[in-house]
Amino acid sequence: MLKQSNRLHGAEAVSKILKKGAFKKTSLFALRKLPNEFSQNRYGIVLSTKLEKSAVKRNQKRRQIYSIISELEENGTVPSSPSYDNVILFRGAGLKLNFTELKEAISKLLNG
């Protein structure tokens, strides 16, 4: 699981990144990122109630993403030299992926 210090907290921080951040979109996810003053990347996951009504399932996907990001950061596959605040926005097709497909998609999103 991703450490608390590497997560974005609060709607204010997320909304700032969503308004001003650079945008990148795939068929499964959208990524907004904004440079930060910290020495590490920070991440936030946005999964709308419109996509998944069940809070249990939304939180399960969120935990899976945090786990994948943590593993990618430990392996060094995510660039960390310029540090960013990243917000990953789920799109409908991303909910149907299993863990390995999700890992590949997140890796491509963060590296590409």
- Which has the closest alpha carbon to 90: 107, 69, 106? 106
**Could you read off the pLDDT tens digit of each residue along the chain, which spans 112 residues?**
888 888 998 889 899 999 999 999 988 999 999 999 988 899 999 999 999 999 999 999 999 999 999 999 898 888 777 889 999 999 888 888 899 999 999 999 988 7
CATH number of the domain at 4-111, please? 3.30.230.10
- pTM, 2 dp: 0.89
Domain ranges of the chain: 4-111
HSE-up (13 A, CA, CB side) for residue 66: 20
